[in-house]
Amino acid sequence: MDQKPFVSVTRRLHGLFVTSAAVVLLITGLVVLCVELVTSRNQLIERAGLFTGLTSPHLANVLALDSPILAHKLLENYFSEPDLLGIYVYRNDGSLLVELSKPELTLPLPEPSFLLRSQLEVSHSFSFDLFEYSMPVRTNRGLEGQIYLQYSLAGVKQKVLFYLLFGVSLYLLSLLGVYLLSKRIQAGLTEPIDQLLDAMEQVSVHQNYDLKIYESRKKTELSSLISGFNRMLVEINKNARELKSHQKVIEQHVYFDPLTGLANRRLLMQNMEREVVRARRTKQFGALVYMDLDHFKTINDSLGHSVGDAILNSVSARIRKAIRQADTPARLGGDEFVVLLPELGQNESSASHNALSVAEKVRQSISEVHSIEGRSLHVTPSIGIALFDGANDQFENLIMQADLAMYRAKEEGRNQVQFFLEQMQEHADHRQQIEERLREAIEKDRLYVSYQPLVRGAGKIVGAEALLRWPDGENGLINPSAFIPIAEMTDLICCLGNWVLTEVCRQMAEWEAQGRVLVVSVNISPREFQQENFVEQVQEVVISTGVRADCLVFELTEGVLLTNVDKVRNKMRRLSELGIRFSLDDFGTGYSSLQYLKQLPINTLKIDQSFVRDITTDSNDAAIVATIIAMARSLDIDVVAEGVEKKEELAYLIKCGCTLFQGFYFSRPVRAKRMASLIPSKQQDQVCEVQIQTLPTHQFTD
């Protein structure tokens, strides 16, 4: 996975320097502009005050005579005052004596402000376009009247606009100068640092050691550092090449056949384990194709081992050419070859057809004439095929089955392909028998529900999981893993699910009537959840049994969530409105996605027991479990660890922050009667301490 590239320190410094200079220049310009505005304002006020001060004594006499004509003659020559637009003179009673406006004006002036006119002292006000000034005219006799002036602010605005444009131009030029100066400093002083950082990124992220940084002729501390770095890269590159060469040789000896270059048994087993895990996750079938060359010993004995080795190499080349890139060809030894074919289909029929197609292609390719040392030699293979899925994961068993099928091909006349039919037939017969007996068990009510306690800490019961049990008179208690997958392939799973939900709700209502309340989890299969009327079925069961829906938890697997997410979200929302909560079962084994946790109302994650089982011995499983717990805690989602069987597992889980557990370490699944005795009554705390005997080994039994 590519790492994020390094961010140049020098570029950061350059950006910081330019940004700081820009901010300082901007603040300086704003301060200058503000000072200019304040200065212009004060100048206007001073001019108005000076004007009124000069005219006030003369105007007082005019007001005493109450002569508009004298007032007009006195004031008409004062419009030489810059920006003066209008002069108003009011009598003592507030009536207008005279009104004069600048002759050049084409538009009428706004009415004088009543607020300013009502003032008995000098006052002024500013608007966007106008400055207004009011001053009372007084004599020794008292208040004679009032003079009111109106000034235009157009000149002030032009002046401010000029300063603004000049300031912006100066600001941009200054900023450009700062930027160029900073780039020059960066190029001259810090470019070697950038080169070092880029080289370090190439080495650490891309493992590119074929680098050499330009060394300046001028001897400085940086040039010495670069020179040493170049020498180090040369040595690292030399060692890396030697290491890669040795690794290739070692891998070739450990994982590949020295003669043919095909995978050996070790690599085949590793790939087989990986493909089994993938088959379990994707529900795909795969196959092992086992082939043996017919009468190869005769060629080896008559023509010698060199010809035999050439035949083996020719066969290997044809196998490679005939199969897919995802397939794994291997040589087990002698004249025995195996091809691992993954992802052949999601059902046995299509997987068998695809496996047979590849095997026939390989058989026909090998059967063609081989030209070895001037001779035309014929070799045919006998081929056996064994299918596998996520459940059939024993490599040795698969090899044995494919080997048996190969020997059957030899018995049938050689140069042909045979399946391991016995296993397939037995599986089909067994599945049919299970399906028929399960239908009979449902009809005759032979099933029952067990409850495995869910505990907090060292033994406080806070809930239980309902588990279906099928006691068969012939074979005893049948493992759910033997019949649940078969039921999921038919409509039986919906019948079973409805029966289990009804039985659990009835039992919970009975416990509640006895004063005991318990939160119970019920497993819901994908096919059951995808029913169109599933929500209505649940509502009917809840209403008919009278159970508290807020004590029900539906456990969903990730298979439920892989369909239409919007449809699933809508169903979960409707069920949540009833009070039902949701738990995501076997988290981490399927297509785990954080989108589910973000989009859906998931309350609890259940860590699959396959991770818990090996957390004390497998560092990978331990890391996965710790990560799931930490992620769930950050999302405020509860975590339940399934399959806890050992004290060491419990200790590690508690250390990681997990508080909810389920497993044989605490209790096996128990019948309803026994479970009732473990549930705290309403009068007690809902979570009570129950001492449960732990079990040393895992046994499937109630």
Residue 370 contacts residue 377 (beta carbons within 8 Å):
yes
Task: For residue 99, list its beta bridge partners.
Answer: 88
User: Mean of the pLDDT values across residues 523-533?
Assistant: 89
Q: Encode pLDDT of 47-105 as tens digits.
A: 888 888 888 888 888 887 888 888 888 887 777 778 888 888 888 888 888 888 888 87
pLDDT band at 379 (very low <50, low <70, confident <90, very high): very high
| Whole-number pLDDT of residue 20 | 84
What percentage of the chain's residues is helix, strand, coil (to nearest 5)? 55, 20, 25
Domain 430-689 carries which CATH code?
Answer: 3.20.20.450
Question: What's the chain's average pLDDT?
Answer: 82
Report the C-alpha gap between 120 and 141 in whole angstroms. Answer: 16
Residue 539: is it exposed, middle or buried by C-beta count within 10 angstroms (0-12/13-18/19+)?
middle
Domain 11-159 carries which CATH code?
Answer: 3.30.450.20
Residue 695 has pLDDT above 50, yes or no: no
| Whole-number pLDDT of residue 92 | 83
Task: Pinpoint the residues of the chain covered by CATH 3.20.20.450.
Answer: 430-689
Q: Encode pLDDT of 420-475 as tens digits.
A: 876 545 654 677 788 888 888 888 888 999 999 999 886 788 999 999 998 877 77
Q: For 87, how many CA atoms within 13 A lie in the half-sphere containing its CB?
A: 26
Residue 688 has pLDDT above 50, yes or no: no
Helix 565-578 with 534-545: angle, nearest 10 deg? 10
| Whole-number pLDDT of residue 382 | 94
| Whole-number pLDDT of residue 2 | 44
Q: Is 136 helix (H, G, I), strand (E, B) or coil?
A: strand
User: Mean of the pLDDT values across residues 195-222?
Assistant: 67
Q: Encode pLDDT of 219-267 as tens digits.
A: 666 666 777 777 777 777 777 777 777 777 676 677 888 889 899 888 8
| Whole-number pLDDT of residue 5 | 43
pLDDT band at 349 (very low <50, low <70, confident <90, very high): confident
| Whole-number pLDDT of residue 365 | 94
Task: Pinpoint the residues of the chain covered by CATH 3.30.450.20.
Answer: 11-159
| Whole-number pLDDT of residue 215 | 64
pTM of the model: 0.43
What is the four-CA torsion angle of 584, 590, 596, 597, rounded to 10 degrees?
A: 60
User: Mean of the pLDDT values across residues 292-302?
Assistant: 86
Q: How far is CA 51 from CA 55, 56, 70, 100, 384, in A?
A: 6, 8, 18, 15, 118
Dmax of the chain from CA atoms? 151
| Whole-number pLDDT of residue 700 | 36
Q: Encode pLDDT of 14-39 as tens digits.
A: 778 788 888 888 888 888 888 888 88
Domain 258-419 carries which CATH code?
Answer: 3.30.70.270
- End-to-end, the C-alpha distance of the chain in Å comes to 48
User: Mean of the pLDDT values across residues 124-133?
Assistant: 85
Residues 6+ apart with CB under 8 A from 285: 279, 344, 345, 346, 347, 348, 350, 351, 387, 388, 389
Q: Encode pLDDT of 610-622 as tens digits.
A: 888 888 888 888 8
Task: Pinpoint the residues of the chain covered by CATH 3.30.70.270.
Answer: 258-419
| Whole-number pLDDT of residue 684 | 42
User: Mean of the pLDDT values across residues 306-324?
Assistant: 92
- What tokens were used for 436? 């028929």
Task: For residue 88, list its beta bridge partners.
Answer: 99, 148
| Whole-number pLDDT of residue 125 | 86
